[in-house]
């Protein structure tokens, strides 16, 4: 198996090398995964591509060779009676079948490793998918901002995700309005964020760093501005940041959330911080939507955004 | 009103007010002027040469499957051009709006399109290209070729065939209307719920999108019934199932998919309509609604729809490659088996469009493996085409160039498709432009085969070949544009660019965005050569007249009758002896002297009912979009009345006598699909 994997990687790398010069900061985010989950995803991207190359490369080459060699002007051998060959046809079904069997095996392996609801690649000890003490972060998307709630710390942020290095982060995600998609290309498996529904995601990054995150599923006029920073900081810095945020002057409960969730485009992804946050806020948003809460987009916003500035200013942002 | 509408409503005009017309937007004004000029360029000559009666008698009321097919293809090509302009605008916006410091012009902060306008453009790009460009063109090709390939006189239900065409045209017209009256959907061609619900899309855009698709998909379903019946019931004597040409096989499998899948789309959209018009909660987030219901229903149609498009393309490849390799298709039985295997598996893969919606690992694994299984029969097909070329004698006419390039595109699209089939990989590139590049490879493969097919069968319908020199330039520029644009797009996918972005926050994407824009310029060049190909060919048509088999190496039944095909197709229904009948007759040197007398033929009469149903369907759609209830109601009643009226008409055919056929056969090479049937008969009379 190691052999196959090695060959697969080698074969897969060749075209990818052409694309990305593979320096650290070349913009090809997906070639520079961070943390066990994203690394597993990239690993299996290479394996899958490699296995496919075993059949794609010879087929492409043969197609080109036949197309060139048997052109009329070449006067190559011509045999119009040859249109059927049982062994060849068996081979034509058999080889792709073997390839698919191999791919299916790797898929089966990888699906569990990167399953957003509990990636096995994060297992520190068998059976402990989330590590000993995962950090819980609740995520709510509105039109068109990200709200990150830290129920354990009773704090919340807008468009700023700060997590400690070396600790598993576990997310619960829901939307107050329409579907978004939680996406930090280098770090976390993509997962949809849907109104009235709960999805899960998790990751762990062992080194500090800052990565771009954004929504990947179209959600309306302000969609292009739905970015958030993902800052992986050292555990000490995280503790300091939590303590500092716990002194933020703005507080947040469900009533405050309903004001916050009015359609707003946060053009520069400017963060905001809240202390004394209701730890049950996520559940209230989730059940509220199920019971019919909507945050309608005014017709003018739908058709005119964003050159007309949003009417409501965001409540007290401190940074 | 059962729902809470934003804005005014009046019984006479519904939601329509003067303010609904976006006369202040320069882009829309330009589009309007362009469309109006293009329309005038068609209408003025028709009026000047007093051809209104001709257009009405010979085209609008025609039930001839070839004319209907030609109209389908013209509609599709026009919509493809509009879809291309949309694509060009999308690319230009993105290259202009990259980075926080990118300037904005007109009303936009970045680039030149504000988000809502940009969102409408990409939504109409997808809707047009898939449902109103590629689908009508392939339907039109099936319409023209299938009856000829099986030796039939027309489709099984000629009038219904015309109704299908006009319903499709109505859908396209509704989308064109949305450009100038109101707005189009900005929720993507897939109609993301609950974004399409009233609170989040209060304008009429979603209604335009919904009714355009709903009405045209009824046309597509009717056409599927028609094609299946024709193939099952109207084959010439001797055309056993094991002799059916591959294009006919693929069209049969495609229409089985069409017949079973399109009603699901109808239901999915009808439930959305209930939400938007009656205030129900099928797809709302709360009060018991569930957006997953829509997502499932849409993709249970949407994925088979992909194969609905690609299977006829595979059929075209099989015909073209065999003809120009001067060899029978390798592995006929395997090919048919692979076609139906793909059609079958296409029903079991829809969840791969939303691996990221949080289904468990076992569910994702099932759909992942099912998706990869599609790769097996597809691989078989590629090998079949490859071995058809092996020991062949390949002539590189333009259809063959398009076909070989399509094979390469299929390999790239297949590779990236199988990558996406693994959820672990999908989690990193789902909703990124990597996916866009992948499915453009597949849809462009279909476009490539469409160009191959149009050039390949054009002489059969019109009696002269298209210009090969300009055709080769068209091929070269279009292929170069494809390679440049989509290679860059794959790269951007790995950089993490997601789809549908009006403003791009990362300036490091700029170089590849510029490359994409360059590719678009090359595409514009290809548009020039496309038009020039037709211009030169039509100008020099009398120099390029051709016989029954213009390529000299064709193999199937349609090449046995005259080019252009007379309106009765075959003077004598051919008797089929072999799989590739024409190739068989060529090899045994069959005697082709005309018979001494012809049997009379029963032909369907032209009727204006289909085009009237089309006009009323437009009234219904437009009335529903703007909630002008009287208009929608009267139109619907009118359609029902017409259908009832039609069912009491018994006299819908006439008998073409043997003498008339004998006369026309004598002059067949001078006839044309463009001339009046009466003229042809008179001309034949004069010669006699």
Per-chain mean pLDDT for chain A: 86
CATH number of the domain encompassing residue A285: 2.60.40.420
Name the β-bridge partners of B150: none
Instruction: Identify the closest residue of chain A to B414 by CA–CA distance.
Output: A56
Residues of chain B positioned with their CB less than 8 A from the CB of A113:
424
Residue with tokens 């829309």: B28
The answer to whether residue B687 scores a pLDDT higher than 50 is: no
Domain boundaries, chain B: 18-687
The closest of A120, A138, A142 to A130, measured between CA atoms, is A120
CA distance A20 to chain B (A): 8
CA distance A247 to chain B (A): 31
Return the structure tokens found at B488.
């860059």
Q: Which residue range(s) make up the domain with A214?
A: 135-292
Chain A residues near residue B371 by CB distance under 8 angstroms: none
Cβ within 8 Å, pair A290-B286: yes
For position A253, what pLDDT does the model report? 95
B291 at the A interface (CB within 8 A)?
Answer: yes
Q: For position B291, what pLDDT does the model report?
A: 93
pLDDT of residue B449 exceeding 60, the answer is yes
Cβ contact, residue pair B358, A114, below 8 Å: no
**Which segments of B49-157 does DSSP mark as H helices, in order?**
52-54, 65-96, 115-127, 135-149
Measured from the Cβ of residue B7, the count of other Cβ atoms closer than 10 Å reads 12
Q: How far is residue B563's CA from residue B547's CA, in Å, rounded to a whole number?
A: 6
Q: Which residue of B has its CA nearest to A49?
A: B419
One domain, residues A146 and A99: no
Instruction: Look at residue B50 in the predicted model and tell me its pLDDT.
Output: 87
Under a CB-based contact definition with an 8 Å cutoff, are residues B554 and B586 in contact?
A: no
A153 plus A279 within the same structural domain: yes
Length of chain B: 688
For an interface test with A, give the residue of B279, B361, B382, B501 to mutate (most A CBs within 10 A). Answer: B361
Single pTM value for the model: 0.93
Q: What percent of chain B has pLDDT over 70?
A: 98
Angle B174-B207-B108 from CA coordinates, rounded to 5°: 85
User: Stretch B618-628: mean pLDDT, rounded?
Assistant: 97
State yes or no: pLDDT of B177 exceeds 90: yes
Q: What is the mean pLDDT of residues A184-206?
A: 93
- The pLDDT-based confidence of B665 (bands split at 50, 70, 90) is confident
Residue A302 is predicted with a pLDDT of 66
Q: Which of A52, A220, A289 sits opposite B285 (nearest CB)?
A: A289
Backbone angles phi, psi at A231, to 5 degrees: -110, 115
State how far the alpha carbon of B62 is from the alpha carbons of A238, B263, B609, in Å: 75, 27, 10
Q: Which residue of A has its CA nearest to B381?
A: A92
What is the C-alpha separation between A177 and B201, in angstroms, rounded?
12
The packing angle between helices A2-19 and A35-69, to 10°, is 80
Asked if residue A216 and residue A107 are part of one domain, the reply reads no
The answer to whether position A307 is within a domain reads no
Q: Is B478 on the interface with A (CB under 8 A)?
A: no
Determine, for residues B392 and A56 on separate chains, whether the beta-carbon distance falls below 8 Å.
no
The verdict on residue A311 lying in a domain is: no
Kindly tell me if the per-residue pLDDT of B297 is higher than 60: yes
Q: Which residues does chain A have within 8 Å of residue B116's beta carbon, measured at their own beta carbons?
A: 221, 302-305
Q: What is the pLDDT of residue B685?
A: 46
- Interface size, chain A vs chain B, as Cβ–Cβ contacts under 8 Å: 338
CA separation, residue B637 to residues A168, B171, B613, B620 (Å): 63, 19, 11, 10
B383/A19 CB distance under 8 A = no
pLDDT-derived band at A177 (thresholds 50, 70, 90) equals very high
Whether A232 is covered by a domain: the verdict is yes
Going by pLDDT thresholds of 50, 70 and 90, the confidence category of residue A128 is: low
Same domain for A152 and A285: yes
Q: Report the 10 Å Cβ neighbour count for B452.
A: 28
Same domain, A64 and A206: no
Min CA distance, A23 vs chain B (Å)?
A: 13
Asked if residue A174 lies in contact with residue A161, where contact means CB atoms within 8 angstroms, the answer is: no
- pLDDT given at position B387: 95
Please answer yes or no on whether A29 and B356 come within 8 Å at the CB atom. no
Of residues A2 and B315, more confidence is placed in B315
- Structure confidence by residue, pLDDT tens digits, B326-336: 999 999 999 99
Separation between Cα atoms, residue B285 and residue B212, nearest integer Å: 25
* A104:B390 CB<8 A: no
Measured between alpha carbons, how far is residue B488 from residues A21, B51, B483 in Å?
15, 48, 8
Per the structure, how many domains does chain A have? Answer: 2
Q: Same domain, yes or no, for A177 and A245? A: yes
- Nearest chain B Cα to A91, which residue? B380
Q: Chain A closest CA to B465's CA: distance in Å?
A: 21
Asked if B388 is an interface residue toward chain A (Cβ–Cβ < 8 A), one would say yes
Q: What are phi and psi of A190, to 5 degrees?
A: -65, 140
pLDDT in tens, B224-242: 999 999 999 999 999 999 9
Q: What does the pLDDT read at residue A7?
A: 47
Chain B residues with CB inside 8 Å of A292's CB? 284, 286-287
DSSP assignment string, A217-267: S--STTGGG-EEEEEEE-HHHHHHHHHHHTT-S-B--HHHHHHHTSS---T
CB contact under 8 A, A297 and B415: no
Residue B575 contacts residue B634 (beta carbons within 8 Å): no
Instruction: Give B402 or A316, the one with higher predicted confidence.
Output: B402
Domain annotation covers residue A304 = no
Mean pLDDT for all residues in chain B: 92
pLDDT in the model for residue A21? 41
What's the pLDDT at B342? 95
Contacts of A103 in chain B (CB under 8 A): 372, 418, 421-422
Q: Which residue of B has its CA nearest to A173?
A: B358
For residue A196, pLDDT beyond 70: yes
Give the pLDDT mean for B642-663. 88
Q: Are residues A92 and A169 in the same domain?
A: no
Nearest-Cα distance to chain B for A102, in Å, is 11
Same domain, A204 and A277: yes
Of the candidate ranges A91-100, B258-267, B433-442, B545-554, the one whose mean pLDDT is the lowest: B545-554
- CB within 8 A of B395, min separation 6: which ones? A71, A72, B324, B326, B553
* Sign of torsion over alpha carbons A53, A57, A58, A60: positive
Q: Which residues pair with A273 in a beta bridge?
A: A157
| Interface membership of B358 toward A (CB under 8 Å) | yes
- Cβ–Cβ below 8 Å for B109 and A307: yes
pLDDT, tens digit (0-9, with 9 covering 90-100), for A18-31 = 444 444 567 899 99
* CATH fold for the domain made of B18-687: Cytochrome C Oxidase; Chain A (1.20.210)
Query: B333 to chain A nearest CA, in Å?
Result: 9
Chain A residues within an 8 Å CB radius of B392: 70, 78, 80
- Mean pLDDT for B291-299 is 95
| Residue A81: other Cβ atoms inside 10 A | 8
Kindly tell me if the per-residue pLDDT of A308 is higher than 50.
no
Whether the CA torsion B99, B105, B109, B114 is positive or negative: it is negative
Residues of A in contact with B289 (CB under 8 A): 196
CA distance B610 to chain A (A): 37
DSSP string, B311-370: HHHHHHHHHHHHHHHTSPPTTHHHHHHHHHHHHHHGGG-GGGGGGGG---HHHHHHHHHH
DSSP notation for A262-314? SS---TT---EEEBS--TTHHHHHHHHHHTT---PPPHHHHHHTTTSPPSSPP
Q: What are phi and psi of A157, to 5 degrees?
A: -135, 160
Chain B residues with CB-CB distance to A210 below 8 A: none
Is residue B394 reached through a cis peptide bond, with omega within 30 degrees of 0 on the bond before it? no
Smallest CA-to-CA distance from B113 within B128, B99, B94 is with: B94
Work out the burial of residue B117: count CB atoms within 10 Å of its CB; fewer than 13 is exposed, 13-18 middle, 19 or more buried: buried
Q: What is the ipTM of this complex?
A: 0.91
pLDDT at A313 exceeding the cut of 80? no
Over range B659-668, report the average pLDDT. 82
- Go through B554-563 and write b for each residue having 16 or more CB atoms within 10 A of its CB, e for each that does not: bbbbbbbbbb
Find the residue in A nearest to B281 (Cα).
A292
**Same structural domain, A283 and A163:** yes
pLDDT score of B489 more than 70: yes
**B679 pLDDT more than 80:** no
Q: Is the separation of the CB atoms in B548 and B560 below 8 Å?
A: yes
Provide the pLDDT confidence category of residue A10 given band limits of 50, 70 and 90: very low
Q: For residue A195, list chain B residues with Cβ-Cβ distance below 8 A.
A: 194, 285-286, 291
Alpha-carbon distance of B459 to B462, in angstroms, equals 5
Contacts of B329 in chain A (CB under 8 A): 83
CA distance B365 to A232: 31
Q: Give yes or no for a contact between B61 and B611, defined as CB atoms under 8 angstroms apart.
A: yes
Q: Is residue A211 part of a domain?
A: yes
Tokens, residue A143 = 């039109």
List, as ranges, residues 400-429 from B with C-beta within 8 Å of A: 404, 407-408, 411, 414-415, 418-419, 421-429
Q: Is residue A236 part of a domain?
A: yes
What is the per-residue pLDDT across A39-95, written as a single tens digit (0 to 9) for each? 999 999 999 999 999 999 999 999 999 999 999 999 889 999 899 999 999 999 999
pLDDT, tens digit, 9 for 90 and up, residues B56-113: 888 999 999 999 999 999 999 999 999 999 999 999 999 999 988 899 888 888 999 9
Yes or no, beta carbons of A299 and B7 under 8 Å apart: yes
The reply to whether A63 falls in a domain is: yes
Between B624 and B649, the more confident residue is B624
Percent of the residues in chain B that have a pLDDT greater than 90, as a whole number:
78
Residues of A in contact with B331 (CB under 8 A): 83-85, 89, 92
pLDDT of residue B662: 86
Chain A nearest CA to B394, separation (Å)? 4
Segment B516-529 shows an average pLDDT of 96
Q: Does residue A176 share a domain with residue A102? A: no
Beta-bridge mates of residue A164: A233
Nearest CA in chain A to B502: A224
Partner-chain residue, chosen from A212, A268, A294, that has the shortest CB–CB distance to B199: A294
- Give, in order, the Cα–Cα distances in Å from A298 to each of A262, A266, B184, B208: 10, 17, 17, 19
**How close is the nearest chain A Cα to the Cα of B44, in Å?**
36
Say if A123 falls within a structural domain: no
SS3 content of chain A, % helix, strand, coil (to 5): 40, 20, 40
Distance from CA of B231 to the nearest CA of A (A): 25
pLDDT at residue A124 in the model: 65
Beta-strand relationship, A155-158 and A146-150: antiparallel
């Amino acid at each position: 198996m190691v052999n196959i994997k090695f060959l697969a990687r080698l074969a897969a790398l060749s075209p990818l090398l052409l694309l990305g010069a593979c320096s650290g900061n070349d913009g090809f985010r997906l070639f520079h995964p961070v943390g066990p989950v994203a690394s597993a995803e990239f690993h299996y991207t290479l394996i899958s591509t490699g296995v496919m190359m075993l059949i794609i490369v010879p087929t492409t080459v043969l197609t080109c060779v036949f197309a060139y060699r048997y052109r009329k002007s070449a006067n190559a051998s011509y045999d119009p009676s040859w249109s059927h060959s049982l062994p060849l046809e068996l081979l034509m079904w058999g080889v792709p079948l073997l390839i698919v069997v191999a791919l299916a095996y790797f898929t089966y392996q990888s699906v569990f490793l990167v399953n957003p609801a509990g990636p096995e690649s994060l297992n520190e000890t068998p059976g402990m998918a989330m590590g000993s003490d995962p950090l819980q972060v609740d995520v709510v998307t509105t039109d068109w901002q990200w709200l990150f709630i830290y129920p354990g710390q009773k704090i919340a942020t807008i468009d700023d995700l700060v997590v400690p290095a070396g600790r598993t982060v576990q997310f619960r995600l829901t939307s107050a309005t329409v579907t978004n998609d939680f996406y930090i290309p280098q770090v976390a498996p993509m997962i949809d964020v849907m109104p009235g529904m709960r999805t899960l995601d998790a990751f762990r990054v062992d080194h500090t760093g800052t990565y771009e995150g954004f929504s990947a599923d179209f959600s309306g006029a302000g969609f292009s501005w739905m970015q958030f920073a993902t800052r992986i900081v050292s555990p000490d810095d995280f503790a300091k940041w939590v303590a500092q945020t716990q002194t933020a002057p703005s507080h947040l409960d469900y009533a405050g959330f309903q004001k916050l969730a009015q359609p707003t485009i946060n053009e520069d992804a400017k963060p905001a911080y809240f202390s004394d946050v209701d730890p049950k806020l996520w559940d209230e948003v989730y059940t509220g939507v199920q019971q019919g809460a909507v945050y309608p987009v005014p017709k003018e916003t739908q058709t005119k955004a964003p050159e007309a500035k949003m009417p409501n200013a965001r409540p007290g942002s401190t940074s | 009103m059962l729902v809470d509408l934003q804005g005014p409503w009046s019984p006479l005009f519904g939601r329509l007010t003067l303010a609904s017309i976006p006369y202040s937007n320069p882009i829309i004004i330009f589009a309007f002027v362009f469309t109006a000029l293009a329309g005038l360029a068609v209408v003025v000559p028709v009026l000047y040469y007093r051809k209104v009666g001709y257009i009405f008698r010979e085209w609008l009321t025609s039930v001839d499957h070839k004319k209907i097919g030609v109209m389908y293809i013209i509609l599709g090509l026009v919509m493809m051009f509009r879809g291309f302009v949309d694509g060009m605008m999308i690319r230009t916006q993105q290259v202009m709006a990259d980075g926080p410091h990118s300037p904005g012009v007109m009303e936009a902060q970045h680039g030149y399109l504000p988000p809502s306008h940009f969102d409408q453009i990409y939504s109409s790009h997808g809707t047009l290209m898939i449902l109103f460009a590629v689908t009508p063109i392939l339907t039109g090709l099936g319409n023209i070729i299938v009856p000829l390939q099986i030796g039939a006189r027309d489709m099984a239900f000629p009038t219904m065939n015309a109704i299908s065409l006009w319903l499709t045209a109505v859908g396209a017209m509704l989308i064109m209307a949305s450009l100038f009256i109101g707005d189009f959907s900005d929720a993507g061609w897939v109609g993301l719920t609950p974004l399409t619900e009233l609170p989040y899309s209060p304008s009429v855009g979603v209604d335009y999108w919904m009714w355009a698709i709903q009405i045209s998909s009824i046309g597509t379903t009717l056409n599927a019934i028609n094609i299946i019946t024709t193939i099952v019931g109207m084959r010439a004597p001797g055309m056993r199932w094991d002799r059916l040409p591959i294009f006919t096989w693929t069209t049969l499998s495609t229409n089985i998919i069409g017949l079973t899948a399109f009603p699901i789309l109808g239901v999915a959209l009808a439930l959305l309509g209930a939400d938007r018009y009656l205030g129900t909660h099928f797809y709302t987030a709360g009060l018991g609604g569930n957006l997953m219901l829509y997502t499932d229903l849409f993709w249970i149609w949407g994925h088979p729809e992909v194969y609905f498009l690609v299977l006829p393309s595979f059929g075209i490849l099989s015909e073209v490659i065999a003809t120009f390799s001067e060899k029978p298709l390798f592995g006929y039985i395997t090919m048919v088996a692979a076609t139906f295997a793909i059609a079958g598996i296409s029903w079991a893969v829809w969840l791969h469009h939303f691996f990221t919606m949080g289904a468990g690992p076992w569910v994702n694994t099932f759909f992942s493996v099912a998706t990869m299984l599609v790769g097996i029969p597809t691989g078989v097909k590629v090998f079949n085409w490859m071995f058809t070329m092996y020991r062949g004698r390949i002539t590189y006419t333009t259809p063959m160039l398009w076909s070989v390039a399509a094979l390469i595109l299929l390999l790239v699209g297949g590779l990236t498709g199988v990558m996406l089939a693994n959820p672990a990989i999908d989690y990193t590139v789902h909703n990124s432009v990597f996916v866009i590049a992948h499915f453009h490879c597949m849809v462009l493969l279909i476009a490539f085969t469409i160009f191959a097919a149009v050039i390949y069968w054009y002489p059969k319908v019109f009696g002269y070949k298209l210009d090969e020199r300009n055709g080769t330039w068209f091929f070269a520029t279009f292929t170069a544009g494809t390679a440049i644009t989509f290679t860059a797009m794959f790269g951007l996918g790995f950089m993490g660019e997601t789809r549908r972005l009006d403003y791009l926050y990362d300036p490091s994407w700029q170089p590849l965005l510029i490359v994409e824009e360059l590719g678009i310029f090359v595409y514009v060049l290809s548009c020039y050569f496309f038009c020039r190909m037709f211009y030169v060919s039509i100008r020099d048509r009398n120099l390029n007249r051709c016989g029954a088999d213009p390529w000299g190496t064709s193999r199937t039944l349609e090449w046995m009758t005259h080019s252009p095909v007379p309106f009765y197709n075959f003077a004598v229904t051919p008797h089929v002896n072999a799989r590739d009948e024409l190739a068989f007759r060529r090899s045994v040197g069959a005697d082709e002297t005309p018979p001494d007398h012809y049997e009379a033929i029963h032909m369907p009469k032209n009727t204006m009912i289909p085009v009237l149903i089309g006009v009323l369907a437009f009234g219904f759609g437009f009335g529903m979009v703007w909630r002008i209830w009287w208009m929608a109601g009267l139109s619907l009643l009118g359609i029902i009345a017409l259908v009832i009226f039609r069912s009491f008409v018994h006299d819908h055919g006439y008998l073409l006598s043997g003498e008339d056929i004998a006369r026309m056969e004598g002059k067949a090479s001078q006839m044309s699909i463009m001339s009046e049937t009466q003229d042809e008969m008179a001309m034949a009379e004069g010669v006699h």
